[in-house]
Amino acid sequence: MSKNIEKKAVLSESIPGESFITSCEICNGLCSLNVLIRGEEIVRVSGRKEHSVSRGYICPKGMAVDEIINAPDRIKTPLIKKSGEEWQAVSPTDALTYIAERLNTIKEKYGAEALAVHVGRAGVRKEFTHYLKRFSAAFGSPNFSTAGSHCHLSKKMANEMTYGILPIPDFKNSSCIVLWGSNPAKSSPLLMRDINKAMQKGSRLLVIDPRNTSTTLKSDLHLQIRPGTDGALALAMLHVIIKNELYNKDFVKDWTIGFNQLVDLVVNYTPEKVESITWVPSEKIIEAAYLYAKNTPACISVGIALELQSNGFQTARAISILQAICGNLDVAGGVLFAPPAVLNSLKIEKDEAVSKPAIGQEEYPLFYKYNNNAQANIFARAILEGKPYPLKAMMVAGSNSVLTWPNAERVKRAFSSLEFLVVVENFMTETAKLADVVFPVNTFLSRDELCDFASLKGMPRLCLSPKIKEEPVMTDWELCKKLAVEMGLGKYFTWENEVEALNYRLKPLGISVEKLKQRLDEGYEYKVKEEKKYLKSGFSTSSGKVEIYSEELKEYGYDPLPFYNEPAESPVSTPQLYGEYPLILTSGARTMAYMHSRFHNIPSLRQLEPEPELEVHGDTANSLGIEDRELIFVESPRGRIQIRVKITDNILPGVISIPHGWDESNANNLTDDEALDPVSGFPPDRSFLARILKK
């Protein structure tokens, strides 16, 4: 071990132990930790003030690391359940042999494409995602997917098609911050610190959210929008900015294509018209447009809520154009162009002639082109209906799909119908209960992991989250390598260990794991920060400019401009259905205590939020005759759940809000997997119709 993570002086005479430095890998915050370990016991976890990015911050999940590691219900040995039998604990070697035999049999019988490999939120920006994708390709299956099937990749595509990259808001230096469907106070507190500091220096804050939150209360302006209508609002703001010539004329003239077509598009999106669509008063729409355009540099943070709409891709396109015409691209205080470190790829080039298309490749060709992944939201159809061909087996890692995918009851039926299901998981989740094999792996404390801060704060800085503890289970790397060897695919995993694999990845940067261990607080700055890089090399688009009008979208049969379409289910688009289901339901607001469906079993976190609650406005509750804390049913055209009522003025009348990730009140029993976004295939989880029924 390096000096940073060798045995250190005891921090307190009353708490003996060894102090180690690592980073929390639970979410994207990557907060640096001091971890005090005595023997095998974690004695104390605290934020590390010396770290150049997190500077001592730690959230409740980070503080609960010891509870998570030592949870009594944690699975520590592989479990196999054969037909009609109970769970049987087996050795890792026996489990790998069994998995290899079953997968090879399925490959021989149905072809390699009958296997899908999925990595969930736990694998976001983690190296084991690359290992599993490599395993999938080595097996011969095109059906590798990630949580990006319903998170992040839609807005990434939209921005890449507009100006070649997904930019990062520079909150710290901004004069105006727009949080659009984003609440960093709950989802990324480390970023909220930057926002608070910017506001102390005079930055203005605009929040667009159908709910009142702690963040909206401190904003200069809050637009309480009807869920699913964000695209119309973006076009109305463009209308105001263009009509009143508030845009950056020189930038538009020199660096955009399609501005005149945009002018023609937005002429009909007047604030008065859009008020009737969004429920946001026209005067507030005008105020928001002026607030953003007149306070430069300005940045917009686009949350997942905008992606999870039936027209989410074009909404993200409209917002990317809004940022561009105001000249806020790649400037301090605007949005930064900060591509991640260029590492050696683990991709295996396959012969397209011998493999069927990935599931979703034909329905969502641009999603596949930009991400090279299958679209997991239609896996259930492939399993149950055999379209475009049957899936017979799945390997799921770091995902509780039965709780987190849309139309969960259909997902559950599909997973139950598979011939073979492997779940890589440390707890007996609702998804793991359906598996033939549950294979536990270690936590982030027991592996070396790379942390790139480009995607979080626009900082070209690579750090290491080092291994500080042994655990009695395999690492994800060991699982992938040993399974590949067992299946006769060892030539694709020739590195002796994970450090060797990481050093291969790091080779283009001229650094190594050992060098990163010596710079745990500072990391490695792999690029000099530079503004307006497009002045030298243009934008990373086919034209070299910002493509307001997208020829690529037109070529694939999509709208080349960001037209607004009503949500697939709404009072406007489906009035007859609205008569039966007269409430607009939005699901999935972030919470500090949990990471999607994870950690509800951790006592200290459960105390923070003991149960899910349905937020209902007082007027809506009165009209339905329901009371605060009453246990009721919520129904959508897909299903029904039981949940307790929370009456609040923090939500619009006629709108209800429900958290996600709870097995006792699974919001995804209500969500839709049919009306997917036509470009990205993302589900409309944040806006659909529902009704409340008394028990």
Mean local confidence (pLDDT), 660-669: 95
Mean local confidence (pLDDT), 484-510: 96
575-694, what's its fold?
Barwin-like endoglucanases (2.40.40)
CA distance between the termini of the chain: 60
Contact assessment for residue 373 and residue 144, using Cβ atoms and an 8 Å cutoff? yes
pLDDT for position 310: 96
Q: Closest Cα partner for 618 from 584, 586, 648?
A: 648
**Residue-wise pLDDT tens digits, 540-583:** 999 999 999 999 999 999 999 999 999 999 999 999 999 999 99
Contact assessment for residue 181 and residue 230, using Cβ atoms and an 8 Å cutoff? yes
Among 17-21, 112-116, 256-260, 304-308, the minimum mean pLDDT is found in 17-21
Q: Give the pLDDT band (50/70/90) at residue 14.
A: low
Mean local confidence (pLDDT), 169-186: 95
pLDDT for position 1: 36
CATH superfamily assigned to domain 168-336: Dimethylsulfoxide Reductase, domain 2 (3.40.228.10)
Would 79-152+346-447+465-510 and 575-694 be classified into the same CATH topology?
no
CATH number for the domain running over 79-152+346-447+465-510: 3.40.50.740
Tokens of 553: 């979208």
- Helix, strand, or coil here: 537? helix
Q: Is the pLDDT of residue 3 over 50?
A: no
**Residue of higher predicted confidence among 85 and 324:** 324
d(CA 30, CA 33) in angstroms, rounded, equals 9
Tokens of 469: 């503890």
**Residue-wise pLDDT tens digits, 321-350:** 999 999 999 999 999 999 999 999 999 876
How much is the mean pLDDT over the chain?
Answer: 94
Q: Closest Cα partner for 298 from 186, 193, 210, 220?
A: 220
d(CA 171, CA 205) in angstroms, rounded, equals 10
pLDDT for position 456: 86
pLDDT for position 236: 98
Q: Is the pLDDT of residue 352 over 70?
A: no
Q: Give the pLDDT band (50/70/90) at residue 351.
A: low
Tell me yes or no: is domain 3-69 CATH 3.30.200.210: yes
pLDDT for position 7: 33
Mean local confidence (pLDDT), 216-221: 96
Q: Give the pLDDT band (50/70/90) at residue 12.
A: very low
Mean local confidence (pLDDT), 354-364: 89
Contact assessment for residue 261 and residue 222, using Cβ atoms and an 8 Å cutoff? no
Long-range contacts of 650-653 (CB under 8 A, 24+ apart): 650/211, 650/212, 650/213, 650/615, 651/210, 651/211, 651/212, 651/615, 651/616, 651/617, 652/210, 652/224, 652/226, 652/279, 652/617, 653/617, 653/619, 653/620
pLDDT for position 2: 36
Count of CB atoms within 10 A of residue 390's CB? 17
Domain boundaries, the chain: 3-69, 79-152+346-447+465-510, 168-336, 575-694
pLDDT for position 280: 98
Mean local confidence (pLDDT), 368-380: 97
